[in-house]
Amino acid sequence: MQIGSATSYVAPQPLSQTARPASSDLSQPAPGDESLSDTPPVEPDDAALHEEAATRAEEDKLSPGEVQQQRQERLEIAKLTSRDLEVRAHEQAHAAVGGAYAGAPTYTFTRGPDGKRYAVGGEVGIDTSPIPNDPEATLRKMELVQRAALAPAEPSAQDLRIAAQASAQATQARAELAQLRREEEAAVAEERALQREERLAAEEEREAREAERDGKERQAPASPPRLDLYLRLAQLQAPVPTVDLLV
């Protein structure tokens, strides 16, 4: 996808060669015109005065038609210079904000009356494809693409179209991200419920084992009495043998 400035510069058509006085473009203000602006006149510096004097001296050597032609060329060069600066600033704004997703600016040039090449249009390639299976990364990318498309001071129609496309993809990515988060929350809740059930089952099983052990201890038979006590009693009660003594 390309974003950039449209090639909208149109070179001015040359004026007719009808002769007219060299000073015809320096019209005098009509009475009362001074009140149309409150801006004080700007005093030209010495360099500007010197350049203007040199220009007038050169024009004095030319015919009126040649003078008009030179002025037309200077006007065209000024417009081309302004357009060149505008185009380059426009494309560099796209590239600077687009970062890794934007390519290097490319320009369309035209040659001015002075033989120099001036940029009159340009474009910057930018990646607008979503990142597969990663709506969060896609959202961050589309927000960057949208900012890159709208970075210039005056976005073109193509810039606005790409910004709208990136905004739509960002909205879709937000919806997918919200759905994933809902699914993750549901999975976490289900896992917690399963762990709670397992914990309750383990506690019930432990209580059952303890109850069973207690029951066995209560039902155990009493130990048989010791027989050695009875044996000693029996020995004490046995008749003492007697001895008959014959006299």
For the chain, what are the domain ranges? 51-126, 129-214
Question: What is the pLDDT averaged over residues 119-134?
Answer: 95
Q: Inform me whether the pLDDT recorded for 235 exceeds 60.
A: yes
Looking at residue 35, its pLDDT comes to: 30
pLDDT score at 230: 65
How does the average pLDDT of the chain come out, rounded?
Answer: 78
Q: Distance (Å, rounded) from C-alpha 77 to C-alpha 4?
A: 23
Give the contacts of 67 (CB within 8 A, at least 6 positions apart): 22, 59
pLDDT band at 50; cut points 50, 70, 90: low
Q: Which of 119, 108, 51 is nearest to 84 (CA)?
A: 119
pLDDT digits (tens, 9 = 90+) for 143-202: 999 999 999 999 999 999 999 999 999 999 999 999 999 999 999 998 999 899 899 889
Q: Which residues contact 172 (CB under 8 A, 6 or more apart)?
A: 130
Edge-to-edge strand list for the sheet holding 117-125: 2-3, 117-125, 106-111
pLDDT, position 87 = 97
At 87, which amino acid appears?
A: V
- Measured N-to-C along each axis, helices 135-149 and 157-219 cross at an angle, to the nearest 10 degrees, of 160
Name the residue with higher pLDDT: 221 or 208.
208
As a whole number, mean pLDDT of residues 22-44 equals: 37
**CA 172 to CA 179: how far, in whole Å?**
11
What pLDDT was estimated at residue 159?
Answer: 96
Give 109's strand partners. 119
Select, from the ranges 11-15, 33-37, 83-87, 213-217, the one with the highest average predicted confidence (pLDDT): 83-87
Residue 210: per-residue pLDDT: 84
* Phi/psi at 165 (5° precision): -65, -45
Q: For position 129, what pLDDT does the model report?
A: 95
Residue 243: its pLDDT value, please? 57
* Cα 78 to Cα 179: distance, rounded to the nearest angstrom: 56
- Which pLDDT belongs to residue 211? 83
> For the ranges 6-10, 37-41, 134-138, which has the lowest average pLDDT?
37-41
Q: Which two tokens stand for residue 30?
A: 């009509």
Q: What is the pLDDT of residue 84?
A: 97
Q: Which two tokens stand for residue 68?
A: 């008009």
Q: How many CB atoms lie within 10 A of CB 22?
A: 16
| pLDDT value of position 60 | 61
Lowest-confidence region among 17-21, 67-71, 174-178: 17-21
pTM greater than 0.75: no
The predicted structure's pLDDT at residue 182: 93
C-beta of residue 20 within 8 angstroms of C-beta of residue 68: yes
With CA atoms as reference, report the closest residue to 148 among 88, 85, 102: 102
The pLDDT of residue 207 is: 86
Report whether 127 contacts 142 (CB < 8 A). no
pLDDT for the residue numbered 214? 78
Among 2-11, 127-136, 188-197, where is mean pLDDT lowest?
A: 2-11
